[in-house]
Structure 1
Amino acid sequence: MDYFIVVITTAAGLYFHWWLYVRIKRWMDRDLALSLADGDPAKRAYMLERLAEAKTAGIRRRDLPAWLQQAAAAYRAA
């Protein structure tokens, strides 16, 4: 019974840490997109759409800042 408790507790702890790590990554990506919006509500919505597009397109996390900066520059040009 002791081993069962240890296994369950360890699995729950690992799951919680994984879940927290994923949430923090999402928050950081969202914060990056919103920081490039410069407080403009229309640009903010545009950048969140571009972030969703980047996720569906499979843009790597290390390439995401440059990709979002290009999207912000494209918004300025339009």
Structure 2
Amino acid sequence: MDYFIVAVATLAGLIFHGWLYRLIRRWMDRDLALSIAAGDPAMQAHLLECLEQAKRQGIPRRQLEDWLHQAAKDYLQQGH
């Protein structure tokens, strides 16, 4: 019975750690998009949409910053 309690507590801790890790990564990605927008509300909304699009397309995290910078550049070139 002691092993069962230890196993359940360990499993619960690992699940919580994984959930917290994913939540913090999501916050970091959102903050990255908002920081690139530099306080422009219209660009913030656009880059948050681009962030969702990047996730759907499976853009790797190491390429995400460059991808968002390019999306911001394209947004500005369109005259917004």
Normalised by the shorter chain, which TM-score bucket?
Answer: over 0.9
TM-score, length of structure 1 as denominator length: 0.97
SS in 2 for 1:74: helix
SS in 2 for 1:36: helix
TM-score, length of structure 2 as denominator length: 0.95
- Partner Cα separation in structure 1 for residue 63 and residue 42 of structure 2: 24
SS in 2 for 1:59: coil
- Structure 1 stretches (4+) deviating beyond 3 angstroms? none
- Partner Cα separation in structure 1 for residue 22 and residue 51 of structure 2: 16
Q: Counterpart in 2 of 1:67?
A: 67
Instruction: Kindly indicate which of the two structures has a greater share of residues assigned to helix.
Output: 2
Q: CA RMSD in A?
A: 0.5
Alignment of 1:32-43 (within 5 A): 32-43=32-43
Question: Structure 1 residue 15 and structure 2 residue 31: aligned?
Answer: no
Structure 2 unaligned residues grouped into runs of 5+: none
Identity %: 62
